[in-house]
Amino acid sequence: MRRVRFSVATSLDGYIAGPNGEIDWITMDPDIDFGSLMDSFDTALLGRKTYEMTWKQGGGGGMAGLHAFVFSHTLNQADCPGVVVSHSPSDTVQSLKSVKGKDIWLFGGGGLFKSFLELGLVDSVELAVIPILLGGGVPLLPPPASLARLELLGHRVYPKTGTVALTYTPVCNSFKPSPLRGPA
Amino acid sequence: MRRVRFSVATSLDGYIAGPNGEIDWITMDPDIDFGSLMDSFDTALLGRKTYEMTWKQGGGGGMAGLHAFVFSHTLNQADCPGVVVSHSPSDTVQSLKSVKGKDIWLFGGGGLFKSFLELGLVDSVELAVIPILLGGGVPLLPPPASLARLELLGHRVYPKTGTVALTYTPVCNSFKPSPLRGPA
**Chain B contact for A164 (CB, 8 A cutoff):** yes
**Chain B contact for A28 (CB, 8 A cutoff):** no
Nearest Cβ partner for B150 among A12, A22, A117: A12
Nearest-CA residue of chain B relative to A136? B145
Q: Residue B182 has what pLDDT?
A: 45
Mean per-residue pLDDT over chain A, rounded: 91
Whether residue A159 has pLDDT greater than 70 = yes
**Chain A contact for B152 (CB, 8 A cutoff):** yes
Helix axes B110-118, B89-97, angle to 10 degrees: 80
For residue B141, which residues of chain A lie inside 8 Å, CB to CB? 13, 133-135
Per-residue pLDDT tens over the stretch A56-94: 666 655 566 899 999 999 999 998 888 999 999 999 999
Which residue type, as a one-letter code, is found at position A71? F
Contact A111, B93 (CB under 8 A): no
Nearest Cβ partner for B145 among A135, A140, A166: A135
How far apart CA B57 and CA B53 sit, in angstroms, is 7
Q: What is the ipTM of this complex?
A: 0.91
Nearest-CA residue of chain A relative to B137? A145
The residues pairing with A166 across neighbouring beta strands, listed in sequence order, are A127, A155
Per-residue pLDDT tens over the stretch A108-122: 899 999 999 999 999
Residue A173, Cβ density class (10 Å: 0-12 exposed, 13-18 middle, ≥19 buried): exposed
Whether residue A33 has pLDDT greater than 70 = yes
Nearest Cβ partner for B148 among A133, A164, A184: A133
Q: How many CB pairs under 8 A join A and B?
A: 172
User: DSSP labels for A96-107?
Assistant: HHTS--SEEEEE
The helix (H) or strand (E) run that includes residue A41 is strand A41-47
- Would you identify the CATH topology of the domain B4-170? Dihydrofolate Reductase, subunit A (3.40.430)
Nearest Cβ partner for A139 among B13, B127, B182: B13
Selection from A132, A138, A158, A171 nearest residue B27 by Cα: A171
Nearest Cβ partner for B145 among A19, A24, A148: A19
Q: pLDDT digit of tens for each residue in chain B (184 aa)? A: 899 999 999 999 999 999 998 999 999 999 999 999 999 999 999 999 989 887 766 665 556 689 999 999 999 999 888 899 999 999 999 999 999 999 999 998 999 999 999 999 999 999 999 999 999 999 999 999 889 999 999 999 999 999 999 999 999 888 888 655 544 3
Contact A122, A4 (CB under 8 A): yes
**Chain A contact for B178 (CB, 8 A cutoff):** no
pTM: 0.92
Contact B134 A141 (CB under 8 A): yes
Contact A166 B114 (CB under 8 A): no
Selection from B88, B96, B137, B135 nearest residue B116 by Cα: B88
The model's confidence at residue A178, banded by pLDDT at 50, 70 and 90, is low
Contact B139 A13 (CB under 8 A): yes
What sign for the dihedral angle of Cα B129, B130, B135, B137? negative
Selection from A48, A49, A6, A11 nearest residue A139 by Cα: A11
